[in-house]
Amino acid sequence: MYWIDEQTLKIDSVNVLIPKYCQFLKDELSSLHEFLREIVMFNIPVNDFENLCNLGSFGNATGYPSTGNNPLFPKNADFYGRDPSAFLLNHNAHIFLTHIIKHQQLGLDQTIPVHDILAPRVNSTQIKWNCDKCHEWLSEVHAAWERAYCLYHVTSGLPARVTEEVSLRITHSHLGPTNLFIVNGKLQTRSDYNKTSSSSGLHKYITRVLHPCLAHIFLVLLMCVRPLELQILKGIDAGDEHVDFIYTTMLFASWGKGWDSKEAGEVFRAWLSDGFGGELKAGIALYRQFAVALQRQWLYKTDGSVWTNPEQGTQSNESQFEAVSLWWQTNLQLDQL
């Protein structure tokens, strides 16, 4: 792997044009945004979609929150663990489901109250789900999560280990504290993963800030799609006994289960190969080398405004991590979206 010129990186026998790669990322972000609105959310009106899950409507984290102080579901924190349906209940999901009911999708119609669908009780109206349509929809939700994961892996700085990413949590649990936060109007992950912490006793927290477009995608998937997805999985007997815990705890979950690193790696390999035009079979390990090469090239040309010395990119405080994420997104030309 070596640079032919400032815009062309040769990997094996393949020339990777960096502007073309950056355009792929921009196109993929825009395409996923539209896929989510048109396909996963049944062509919900553009204005309604854009107004869903506004970052300004969520509370900001101050420090590390207590168990009951969840950034996405603060009013429902008491329901976590004992009533997953009520925990995931929120007004964004109501808006999405009202649209589905209006257009009679997935076997739903206007005779069924929204609350009976999202948080059913013993005496709630029984729903006759259209199993074929539900399976198709679950597949589309899974595809949206796959693409969102790949974009998260490549747009917020040097990538994390896959084992770290698939362990990210949206709530506290016996597995550990939440890793998803909203700080200063930006969605970010704070990872507490460190493969040497068990032996050293030292923990390093790494913050990654999501691009605004990707943040919106993640929030819609979590706040609007996941509450309905959980009820469909239960309604068509597609989820296992752990589905409640998984869907209220893990960030990356679909088809009724949390992801593992092997699955995520295979997804990423196929996605990145498309990004390189299909000429290069690139997986997680090769992408890491590619990302390092990109960062070194950018650092060579930087004016020093991002950090005083390159080592600070992995050692400094949260504001420094945020600056690195934003610097990456700017160099990838995602600030032009």
- The reported pLDDT for the residue numbered 175 is 85
Map tokens 């068990």 to a residue.
198
- The reported pLDDT for the residue numbered 64 is 55
The verdict on residue 6 lying in a domain is no
Q: Which tokens in the block code for residue 293?
A: 């090469």
Instruction: Quote the domain boundaries for residue 268.
Output: 20-336
Instruction: Report CA-CA distances (Å) from 311 to 77, 307, 329.
Output: 39, 9, 19
d(CA 270, CA 264): 10
- Give the residue from 174, 189, 150, 173 showing the smallest Cα distance to 273: 150
- The reported pLDDT for the residue numbered 152 is 97
> How many other CB atoms are there within 10 angstroms of residue 238's CB atom?
16
> How many other CB atoms are there within 10 angstroms of residue 196's CB atom?
10
Output the average pLDDT for the chain: 87
- The reported pLDDT for the residue numbered 317 is 60
Q: In this predicted model, what pLDDT tens digit does every residue of 204-232 receive, in sequence order? A: 678 899 999 999 999 999 999 999 999 99
**How many domains is the chain built from?**
1
- The reported pLDDT for the residue numbered 233 is 96
- The reported pLDDT for the residue numbered 196 is 57
The verdict on residue 143 lying in a domain is yes
- The reported pLDDT for the residue numbered 76 is 80
The verdict on residue 4 lying in a domain is no
The verdict on residue 14 lying in a domain is no
The verdict on residue 5 lying in a domain is no
Q: Which tokens in the block code for residue 94?
A: 């109501």
The verdict on residue 7 lying in a domain is no
Residues contacting residue 150 through CB under 8 Å, at least 6 positions apart: 28, 267, 268, 271, 272
**pTM higher than 0.95:** no
The verdict on residue 13 lying in a domain is no
- The reported pLDDT for the residue numbered 142 is 98
The verdict on residue 1 lying in a domain is no
d(CA 69, CA 187): 16
* Residues of the chain predicted below pLDDT 70: 59-70, 192-204, 302-318
